[in-house]
Amino acid sequence: MDTINTKNQKRDKWASKLGFILAAAGSAVGLGNLWKFPYSAGANGGGAFVMVYFLFLITIGFPLMLAAITLGRKTQLSAVGAYRSIKKKWAFVGGLGVVCGFFILAMYSTVGGWVIYYVIKALTGGLAEKNPQVLGEIFGEFITSPGISVAYQGLFLLLTLLIVLRGISSGIEKASKIMMPALFVIMIVIAIRALSLEGAYEGVKFLLVPDFSKINMSVIVNALGQVFFSLSIGMGVMVTYGSYFDRESNLLQAGTSIPILDTMVAILAGLATLPAVFALGFEASAGPGLMFVTLPAVFASMAFGNVFCILFFLLVLFAALTSSISMLEVCVSYFVDEKNVDRVKSSIIISIIIFIIGVPATLSMGPWSDLTILGNLNFFDFYDKLTSNILLTSGGLFLSIFVGWIWGADKAVEEIERNGTKFKLAPVWKFLIKFVVPPAVSIVLLNSFKEVLA
């Protein structure tokens, strides 16, 4: 097994076979599933959004996930190096991912900070409340206080930094083995409780039954952005994580189980949140605050609700951190692998820069809410659209062209089959990656520009 390749540095490997799956699933499962999916579905017509999401997941998400980890494993390099080692000119795609990493973590840390605050709030019993209005006020008061919310954002980044500094395969992998299943179980319990609330059925219908008249360009653009964001695809995370994969591992298994797991968590989060929205009198289109206002109300109606509330927000925090470390890792490994910068030094400097970029996103929830930087987008919305709808999407487009045409889909299949597994669906995958993903993503991307610039 070749563990040495980049400039005298021994590459860290996943400690166990499950290591990659856990880390990649850890990157994929995060705020995107628990926080963003329910509110995006809520704001984009419910079932219509979910249906388009599924369509993109199957035709674009799955093929790209496999493409990314295969490229990583083949080259054993993080994103920039991976592209460059096959075709020099394409290194820019990796670079684009690094840029994306800065902005995505800048906005992610805003919400990560909210989660930490809610963990503490839950621990001190401050969320034991059923009244939608009061819960809305608790949330609103916090996110609009500049000092506190920025401090929590900083704390979230600090935690992310501390984990990244300890290297790739240590504690996180072990912790994931307990935390991921725990998250899954608690989501099922919460969803069951939410579904048994009086009037919950309306929410289920809203989430799962598509109203075709609601499908418009904005729904399509957001659904594709959500697929990329949720799967951590398009900025080099999966390429980088795939590069720590050894030659014997089963790429097909990894490439399919991660999207499946990721989607199950998103649907569970939707089933925990949206029925409660309808049953308890919240607004489905409430936006980024949806999880923070509705779920405490569900807990308040449960036996041992406070325990569930604490556990839930702790697990959300864990899920958010396993995602944020993957974002930071992309940026750090670029400077370590490409620029030979010391790992500790670059991790710290990058985190500080991300914090500086991120503060305006946090402030745009409060004092800077009217400060727009593009069209009617404030900083938070701008980073959100820029990353999900433009940078990740472009990254995904380039990835498909690169693997499908430049490196070559046949060579990728060869790499996938290297450990002896037969890739039965190879013709389908090749067709999708070469002929479906590039045009489909291009069309949505062009419309994303219109959406963002409008």
Buried b (16+ CB within 10 A) or exposed e, 384-406: bbbbbbbbbbbbbbbbbbbbbee
Q: Is 30 a binder of ligand PHE (CB under 6 A)?
A: yes
Q: Select from 26-34, 64-72, 191-199, 371-379 the region that touches ligand PHE (CB under 6 A).
A: 26-34
Where are the alpha helices (H) located in 62-199, listed in sequence order? 62-75, 79-86, 91-123, 132-144, 146-165, 171-195
Q: Is 31 a binder of ligand PHE (CB under 6 A)?
A: yes
> Closest CB to ligand PHE among 200 and 269?
269
Q: Which residue is listed with tokens 């609009």?
A: 144
- In 3D space, the residue among 94, 107, 4 whose CA is nearest the CA of residue 335 turns out to be 94
Q: Is 207 a binder of ligand PHE (CB under 6 A)?
A: no
For 78, which DSSP code? -
Distance (Å, whole) CA 137 – CA 151: 20
Q: DSSP 3-state assignment of 41?
A: helix
Q: Write each residue from 64 to 103 as x if it is in contact with ligand PHE (CB under 6 A), else as -, in one continuous string.
A: ----------------------------------------
- In 3D space, the residue among 105, 28, 27 whose CA is nearest the CA of residue 263 turns out to be 28
User: CB count, 10 Å around CB of 199?
Assistant: 13
Q: Is 322 a binder of ligand PHE (CB under 6 A)?
A: no
Distance (Å, whole) CA 285 – CA 122: 24
Q: Is 230 a binder of ligand PHE (CB under 6 A)?
A: yes
Size of residue set near ligand PHE by CB under 6 A: 15
Q: DSSP 3-state assignment of 372?
A: strand
Q: Is 149 a binder of ligand PHE (CB under 6 A)?
A: no
Q: Find the shortest distance in angstroms from Cβ 171 to ligand PHE.
A: 19
- Give me the count of residues in the chain: 454
Q: Is 393 a binder of ligand PHE (CB under 6 A)?
A: no
Q: Is 395 a binder of ligand PHE (CB under 6 A)?
A: no
For 12, which DSSP code? P
Q: Find the shortest distance in angstroms from Cβ 398 to ligand PHE.
A: 15
Q: Is 232 a binder of ligand PHE (CB under 6 A)?
A: yes
> Closest CB to ligand PHE among 101 and 203?
101
Q: Select from 28-36, 113-121, 345-353, 420-428 the region that touches ligand PHE (CB under 6 A).
A: 28-36
Q: Is 41 a binder of ligand PHE (CB under 6 A)?
A: no
Q: Using CB under 6 A as the criterion, which residues of the chain lie in contact with ligand PHE when the complex forms? A: 27-28, 30-33, 104, 229-230, 232, 235, 237, 323, 326-327
